Structure 1
Amino acid sequence: MSTVIEQTVEARLVAAAPRMHSVAATLHYDRRDPFAVRMTFPAPATLEGVEVCWTFARDLLTAGLHEPEGHGDVRVRPYGYGRTVLEFHAPEGTAVVHVHSAEIRRFLQATSELVAVGLEHLQLDLDHDLAELMRDAY
């Protein structure tokens, strides 16, 4: 069984101009980091011209489907019928994207089949992680 789920989603970038550009962003989940989700944007969609990846809590994405969530660099909220807004805040500015809620739900369903919500802690090997930290400390 795979330990990773990747799903491409259509992300509509909200810009100052009236039109919105769509890009193929990738949602990524790895059971080895069971609390986290990554969203990667391709180089052409970024100001720097390099691929950009944001990491945030799976719970944040789940909760943001139903009501505004997040107070830090990543915020998620429902928007109208069938869309979810993700805001990514950085010192350089804020990126706002719209994603079809159904795509997010499909991704979250796949992640919960891989690692059930509430059982993420069973995927962690804290003894191994602590040993790795201590090894690097010497």
Structure 2
Amino acid sequence: MSTVIEQALQARLVASSPQRETVAATLRYDRRNPFAVQMAFPAPATLEGIDVSWEFSRELLAAGVDEPAGLGDVRVRPFGYDRTVVEFHAPEGVAMVHIRTSEVRRFLERARHLVPEGREHEFLDLDQDLAQLMRDAC
């Protein structure tokens, strides 16, 4: 059984101009890091011209499709019919994308099959994490 789920999707980049640009993005979930999801954008979609990946809570993404969620660097909220807004806050500014809620729900359902909500702790490898922490401390 695979330990990673990836789902390509189209995100609409919201900018100050009236036209919205569609960019490629990928949602990723790895059961070795069961509490988190990643949203990655390829270099052509970013201001820096490099691949950018944001990691945030799976719980945040799940909550944000139904009601506004998040207070920190990543915020998620519903927007109209079948749209979810994801905001990424950084010192350089705010990036906001619209993605299809149905795609987010499908991704979350696939992640739930891999690691059911509330059972994430069963997929943590605390011995390995502690050994890595000790190596990094030396």
Same fold (TM over 0.5): yes
- Measured on the aligned residues, the alpha-carbon RMSD in Å equals 0.9
State the match for 2:59 in structure 1. Answer: 59
State the match for 1:23 in structure 2. Answer: 23
Percentage identity across paired residues of the two chains: 66
Structure 1 residue 58: Cα displacement: 0.2
List aligned pairs for 1:1-138, cutoff 5 A: 1-138=1-138
Deviations along 1:89-109, one digit per CA (max 9) or x if unpaired, are 000010000000000000000
Q: Give the aligned residue type for 2:30.
A: D
Structure 1 residue 127: Cα displacement: 2.0
Tell me the TM-score normalized by structure 1. 0.97
Three-state SS of the structure 2 residue aligned to 1:67 is coil
Structure 1 residue 47: Cα displacement: 0.6
**Structure 1: stretches of 5+ with no match in the other structure:** none
Range with greater deviation from structure 2 (102-111 or 124-133): 124-133
Q: Give the aligned residue type for 2:28.
A: H
Q: Give the aligned residue type for 2:69.
A: E
Q: How many residues align?
A: 138
Are the aligned partners of 2:72 and 2:89 in contact in 1 as well (CA < 8 Å)? Answer: yes
Deviations along 1:54-104, one digit per CA (max 9) or x if unpaired, are 000000000001100000000000001110000000000100000000000
Distance 1:128 1:49 in 2: 34
Q: Give the aligned residue type for 1:95.
A: A
Q: Give the aligned residue type for 1:73.
A: D
Structure 1 residue 129: Cα displacement: 1.4
Tell me the TM-score normalized by structure 2. 0.97
